[in-house]
């Protein structure tokens, strides 16, 4: 290292657990922002903890490195945890007591003007590697590279291939269908933002509250709540997110199919007015209602949204509040089932399904599995509700 005064540093931090909660560790890297040279590193195990606690612990460790090795320097923090970045930036509230305590510690260490930047997982590979090495017993504590050590340039970080946190660490997606609306109980076509966009009914809000209470069992594990921007899904997501102490991210890719001229009509009404097109819609996944979308079109945007979600929240747990067609599309994709399988699934309002996506070490592709499907919160009687789906 040189004796040059470092004016700005970059803190890279990561953390995770093998199981959530499970054996956990963090990794933190302090870099000279001007050269990309590594100034110091820290990696330690935490015992049993959640992913979120491990992420925050990595942040605290990285800021402590900045205080010890670059006093007076301005700081930019880069992490692949959107939760930590948004909470430390003041845009999301922190309700979990363990994370609140760690966030307070981080604020004490961070100099005025510290900025927080979300980066893709591939650009945080150094800190991720340190955390894995700590969990594997290969390192523990602070280390300072000597002059003979070749520092990893920042360009190498940007080009690095993204490892998963631990072998086969999955991204878990908890799929929640919205509660009922007047269109649901009236068995009417109800599409995305282009249609009537009805709100939840009182019954639908009660269903959302029931599923939110059920999902609080996962409060320490869930990193983010993502929702379709359609009114009924956003209202459901707001109720769920409030119970989990999280904010809601909107993702338009997970909006319901647009039904065009059929929106707001019952199946019987469409059959009476437009039987030929209705039959074509059932027979051909590329056929669309007049002014609406086909199943193939919806599949393309849903899978594009899935790819973004898996990149942004790799190895974490996401609650995704969506609609019948996008949820069935994701389930079919996870199982490598043909798109026509959508017609053979039933999905109740406010039902929960869980998918996991694992990185294939041979191909780098995400392979899906289904943990369960169409589960209802305790107290909901499945057979009584079958006529309401």
Q: Which residue in the list 178, 183, 313, 323 is annotated as catalytic? A: 178
Q: Catalytic site residue 69?
A: no
Cα separations (Å) of 189 from 93, 230, 261?
36, 14, 10
Q: Name the segment(s) of the chain with CATH classification 3.40.50.1240.
A: 171-388
Strand ranges inside the chain, DSSP E? 8-17, 22-32, 38-49, 74-79, 115-118, 141-143, 171-177, 222-227, 248-250, 317-322, 352-359, 366-375
Domain 171-388 sits in CATH 3.40.50.1240: yes
β pairing state of 248-250 and 222-227: parallel
| Tens digit of each residue's pLDDT (9 = 90 or more) over 331-379 | 999 999 999 999 999 999 999 999 999 887 677 788 899 998 999 998 7
Is 232 flagged in the annotation as binding? yes
| Tens digit of each residue's pLDDT (9 = 90 or more) over 186-245 | 999 999 999 899 999 999 999 999 999 999 988 888 989 999 999 999 999 999 999 998
Q: Name the segment(s) of the chain with CATH classification 3.30.420.10.
A: 8-159
- pLDDT > 70? residue 161: no
- pLDDT > 80? residue 156: no
Q: Catalytic site residue 178?
A: yes
β pairing state of 141-143 and 38-49: antiparallel
In contact, 245 and 86? CB cutoff 8 Å: no
In contact, 42 and 127? CB cutoff 8 Å: no
Please state the rounded mean pLDDT for residues 139-166: 52
| Tens digit of each residue's pLDDT (9 = 90 or more) over 242-294 | 999 898 999 999 999 999 999 999 999 999 999 999 999 999 999 999 999 99
- Residues 200 and 323: their CA atoms lie apart, in Å, by 13
Domain 8-159 sits in CATH 3.30.200.190: no
Q: What is the pTM of this model?
A: 0.69
Q: Which residue in the list 86, 154, 210, 256 is annotated as catalytic? A: 256
């Amino acid at each position: 290292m040189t004796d040059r005064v470092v004016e700005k540093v970059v803190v890279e931090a990561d953390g995770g657990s093998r199981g959530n909660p499970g054996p956990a560790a963090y990794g933190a890297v302090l870099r000279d922002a001007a050269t990309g040279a590594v100034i110091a590193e820290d990696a330690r195990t935490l015992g049993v903890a959640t992913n979120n606690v491990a992420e925050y612990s990595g942040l605290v460790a990285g800021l402590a490195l900045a205080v010890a090795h670059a006093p007076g320097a301005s700081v930019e923090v880069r992490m692949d945890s959107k939760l930590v970045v948004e909470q430390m930036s003041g845009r999301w509230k922190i309700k979990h007591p363990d994370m609140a305590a760690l966030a307070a510690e981080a604020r004490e260490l961070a100099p005025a003007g510290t900025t927080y930047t979300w980066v893709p997982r591939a650009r945080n590979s150094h800190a991720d590697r340190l955390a894995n090495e700590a969990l594997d017993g290969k390192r523990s504590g602070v280390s300072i590279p000597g002059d003979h050590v070749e520092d990893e340039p920042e360009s190498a970080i940007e080009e690095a291939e993204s490892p998963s946190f631990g072998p086969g660490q999955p991204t878990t997606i908890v799929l929640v269908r919205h509660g009922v609306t007047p269109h649901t109980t009236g068995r009417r076509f109800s599409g995305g933002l282009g249609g009537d966009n009805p709100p939840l009914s009182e019954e639908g809000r009660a269903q959302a509250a029931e599923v939110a209470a059920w999902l609080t069992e996962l409060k320490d594990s869930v990193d983010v709540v993502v929702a379709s921007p359609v009114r009924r899904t956003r209202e459901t997501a707001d109720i769920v997110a409030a119970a989990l102490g999280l904010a809601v991210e909107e993702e338009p890719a997970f909006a319901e199919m647009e039904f065009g001229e059929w929106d707001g009509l019952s199946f019987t009404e469409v059959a009476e007015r437009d039987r030929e097109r209705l039959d074509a819609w059932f027979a051909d996944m590329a056929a669309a209602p007049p002014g609406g979308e086909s199943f193939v079109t919806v599949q393309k945007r849903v899978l594009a949204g899935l790819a973004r979600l898996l990149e942004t929240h790799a190895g974490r747990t996401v609650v995704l509040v969506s609609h019948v067609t996008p949820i069935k599309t994701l389930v079919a994709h996870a199982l490598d089932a043909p798109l026509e399988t959508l017609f053979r699934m039933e999905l109740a309002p406010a039902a929960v399904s869980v998918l996991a996506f694992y990185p294939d070490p041979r191909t780098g592709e995400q392979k899906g599995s289904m943990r369960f499907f169409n589960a209802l919160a305790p107290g909901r009687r499945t057979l009584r509700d079958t006529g309401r789906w």
